[in-house]
Structure 1
């Protein structure tokens, strides 16, 4: 296995990890949206976006925020348990008509037409147990489904994080600790993923009690 090929066993294990985690801890991230989602909603509104695709939505705290802000939302995740929790919450909030869900593994092509969405959001999805090649392919898919002028906001843990280098090394800057694998981003990967885009901002921030150290990246597809 080269440093840019992923171990299929690791991918399966991570899927099982998240399925079990959502099952054991329903609504584990709470109901309040993440700070990046609040930021993204404001950015998307300023660009005139009407619909948002969220990748790795989990149980949906951010997808529900986008819906409450008036966007039509398509939320994807590879955990059917997380998506069930999202659909139930959307119905309870009267947002069922605004939120659609799709069970999807981002290693596969997005099941959407070209230029079919105004904005894409992914909070810590790109820094899951994905190889660099898989991340590049995913960003290529985001580019394909975005309309010209569309915006992509994503967050990733980076190599300045205190957990970088800790736990089991899987190559390609992926480290696993307590059953949870993270692909820590060097800055050059962020720049490479923005090739052909307008890179609007790379904002450093911290989240959680560890704290996790992340970048919030905003990039726009040229018209």
Structure 2
């Protein structure tokens, strides 16, 4: 990472931490639409354990736990994860939820092929360079079981905020204090190299509205020799 990229990453970490401190439960208690969809996909695939990256204060992680999955939830904000843990205790799902502070610019602290499914709602489109995103998806593939499913969402270049605010290069624009890496379709396709790309679905979220893709891809099962 360049010095400018490191500075942006640290600024974003501090911004999210202060935002969660100032606005506990900022996204509400109801799960996101993509999480509801992902739960059905994961269940159909026979998944039991879900790794959520960028879980924030936990509305989706708690939903997965209520749906009967065992959940490993990571985020780089200790404040968000503390809210998640309190929510799990209040909902009686603490036995199915574990949390870990983790920056996805670093290798995932998990062994190979150890989880059934991975979920990331708007995590890949944060202030990550293209190289960092590629490295993260490689790590996700490493920790997924063969046949495991990865569902993620990203804001794309058709979004109203694309090209607005402060430009940081690499299709990253900062608006209202939040930096976003806007995806084009070529990047989605590149990240699916070596996977089965099951679905790329457009949807909208929020008041702007934000325009996103929901992507589902599966790690292939290698034939036995």
> Shared topology, TM-score over 0.5?
yes
1:90 corresponds to: 88
Give me the CA root mean square deviation: 1.1
Paired residue secondary structure (1:30): coil
Q: Distance in 1 between matches of 2:90 and 2:4?
A: 39
Q: Distance in 2 between matches of 1:73 and 1:6?
A: 34
Per-residue deviation, residues 18-68 of structure 1 (Å, max 9, x unmatched): 000000000000000000000000000000000000000000000000000
Q: 1:33 aligns with which of 24, 28, 31?
A: 31
Tell me how many residue pairs correspond in the alignment.
221
2:136 corresponds to: 138
Q: 2:45 aligns with which of 44, 47, 53?
A: 47
Task: Flag as ranges the 4+ runs of structure 1 deviating above 2 A.
Answer: none
Q: Which runs of 5+ in 1 are unaligned?
A: none
Q: Distance in 2 between matches of 1:103 and 1:195?
A: 29
Per-residue deviation, residues 75-125 of structure 1 (Å, max 9, x unmatched): 000000000000000011110100000100000000000000000000000
Q: How far is 1:6 from its partner?
A: 6.1
Q: TM-score, normalised by structure 2?
A: 0.97
1:167 corresponds to: 165
Determine whether 1:7 maps to 2:5. Answer: yes
1:147 corresponds to: 145
Q: How far is 1:131 from its partner?
A: 0.1
Q: Distance in 1 between matches of 2:121 and 2:136?
A: 14
1:196 corresponds to: 194
1:206 corresponds to: 204
Q: Distance in 2 between matches of 1:201 and 1:122?
A: 15
Q: How far is 1:177 from its partner?
A: 1.0
Q: Distance in 2 between matches of 1:148 and 1:127?
A: 25
1:72 corresponds to: 70
Contact 1:126 1:135 in 2 (8 A): yes
1:185 corresponds to: 183
Paired residue secondary structure (1:202): strand
Contact 1:127 1:156 in 2 (8 A): yes
Q: Which runs of 5+ in 2 are unaligned?
A: none
Paired residue secondary structure (1:43): helix
Per-residue deviation, residues 126-165 of structure 1 (Å, max 9, x unmatched): 0000000000000000000000000000000000001100
